[in-house]
Every structure is written in C-alpha cells, then in structure tokens.
C-alpha cells in the first residue's frame, strides 16, 4: 500500500529532526573551537630531520615522481661530506591534493604529512612553500631512522662502518 509509505515518509524526517533537538550538537564552532585530527591525518606536509638533527631529505626525486599533481620540485646538491641534500625544495600547496603518495615513496622518512590542516591563504603565492617553510626540527613519526646509517656509502659513519658492513677490503691483498 503506497499511501502508508507516503505518510511515513512525510513524518519520519520531522521525527528525526525533532529527536536531534534533545541531543548534544556535533557541529564545532570553528575557528573558535578546533578539532584535533588523528596523528596520521594527511594535512600539511613537512620535511623532518634525522635523530642527529640533520636534514633527512636526500633530494632523490621519488616524491616528485610519485606526486600525481606534480606539486613537488627540487634540486639536489652535495655537501663536503658527500651528503646528498636538497639545495631547494618547493611544494605547491595550492596544487597539492593531500594524497600522501609522497610520504609513501620517501625512502628516508623525510617527507611526512601532519595533522595541521590550517594552511589556507588568500594569497596563492603563500601556498607555495619553500624548503625553509617545510623543514621542521624533529623526526616526526619515526624517531630512530637515519637513512645514511643504512645506505652503505659512508656519509655519517666511516666507509664500512655501518652495522651490516665490514670495513673496506684491500684489493691488493694476496690472501686466499
């Protein structure tokens, strides 16, 4: 019987609305009141440092290659210890879709998403973040990982000084 369905359909929404009059509201009075998202929320992207306080980013270009909207650009350079780092690193938040693929691609845990979602700006150029805007003091989500301790090319430790290596061999040795 369609008539019964129509009457129910007319009154049930009013009933539900009426019910909410007696419940605590879920709406938050943003910006006076702010919600704290979970720690793994994907908002503002930062560049973190390793436990020794050095930049983690080695400018390997994997994040920019993974980025589906091409919002990351950088230039790699080398310092006097042989450490590869980003001479400049630019992330265009006006283009970023916060998909988090860059953090998945990052082999050094350098690029990470944070729960800080308040990055809106009327001036679009202020949404283009340079390295100094992105770099934070701290390790972010992984507090122990230091890429160069595992890389096997001797930047933070002597060559062959990492835990899974043995020291440089002597190619001129005659030992069997």
Partner 1 sequence: MPKLIIDNLEVTVPEGTNVLEAARKLDIVIPHFCYHKALGAVGSCRLCAMMFLEGPVSGVQMACMIPAQDGMVIATNDPEAVELREHVIEWAMTNHPHDCPVCDEGGECQLQEMTVAGGHAVRRYTGPKCTFTNQDLGPFVQQEMNRCITCYRCVRTYRDYCGGEDYGVFGSRNRVFFGRVEEGPLESFFAGNIIDACPTGVLTNKPFRFKSRSWDLQEAPSICPHCSLGCAVIPGGRYRELQRIRAGVNETTNGFFICDRGRFGYDHVNHPERPREPRIDGQPASMAETLAAVRTRVQDLVQKHGPAAVAFLGSSRASFEANALLREWATQVGSPHLVFEAHQGRDRAARVLAARLGEHARSLEDVRQSDLIVLCGADPLAEGPMLALAIRQAARNGAQVVVIDPRSVKLPCSATRLPLASGRLPEVLKALSQKDLSAFSRQERSVLDGLAAQLESARQPILIGAADLLAEAGVTALCAAATKLSTPERPVGAMVLLSGPNSYGGAMLTGAADDFDTVLDAIQEGRIHALVCLSSDPFREAMAPARAQAALGHLELLVTIDSTPTLAAQRADIFLPARASAEMAGSYVNNEGRMQAFLPVLNPGLPISQTGAGNHPPREFFLQTPGSEPEEDWLILAQLLESASDLATIRQRLASSDQRFTELPAIAPETPGIRMSGSGQLPPAPPSELPHCTPSDTLTLLAVSAPLGSHWLAHLSAPLAAQEPQPYVCLHPEQAKELGLNAGDRARLITHLGHCHVVVKIDEMMVSGQVMAPQLMNTALEGMLPGSVLDCRLEREVQV
The helix/strand/coil state of 134 is helix
Q: Which of 43, 66, 76, 99 binds partner 1 (CB under 8 A)?
A: 76
**CB nearer to partner 1: pick between 138 and 160:** 160
Q: Does 54 bind partner 1 (CB under 8 A)?
A: no
Q: Are 141 and 133 in contact (CB under 8 A)?
A: no
What DSSP character marks residue 71? -
Q: Does 128 bind partner 1 (CB under 8 A)?
A: yes
- Cα angle at 52 between 54 and 168, to 5 degrees? 90
Cα separation, 130 vs 98, in Å, equals 17
Q: Which of 45, 47, 60, 139 binds partner 1 (CB under 8 A)?
A: 60
Contacts to partner 1 by CB under 8 A? 58-62, 64-65, 75-78, 84, 87-90, 107-108, 125, 128, 130-131, 147, 150-154, 159-160, 164-173, 176
């Amino acid at each position: 019987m369609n008539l019964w369905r129509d009457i129910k359909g007319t009154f049930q929404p009013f009933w539900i609305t009426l019910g909410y009059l007696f419940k605590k509201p879920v709406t938050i009075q943003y910006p006076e009141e702010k919600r704290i998202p979970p720690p793994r929320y994907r908002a503002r992207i930062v560049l973190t440092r390793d436990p020794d306080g050095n930049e983690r980013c080695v400018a390997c270009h994997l994040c920019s290659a993974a980025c589906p909207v091409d919002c990351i650009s950088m230039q790699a350079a080398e310092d006097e210890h042989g450490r590869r780092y980003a001479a400049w690193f630019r992330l265009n938040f006006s283009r970023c879709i916060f998909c988090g693929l860059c953090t998945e691609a990052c082999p050094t845990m350098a690029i990470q998403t944070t729960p800080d979602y308040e990055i809106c700006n009327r001036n679009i150029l202020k949404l283009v973040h340079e390295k100094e805007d992105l770099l934070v003091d701290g390790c972010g989500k992984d507090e122990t990982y230091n890429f160069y301790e595992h890389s096997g090319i001797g930047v933070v430790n002597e060559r062959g000084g990492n835990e899974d290596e043995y020291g440089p061999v002597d190619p001129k040795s005659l030992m069997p």
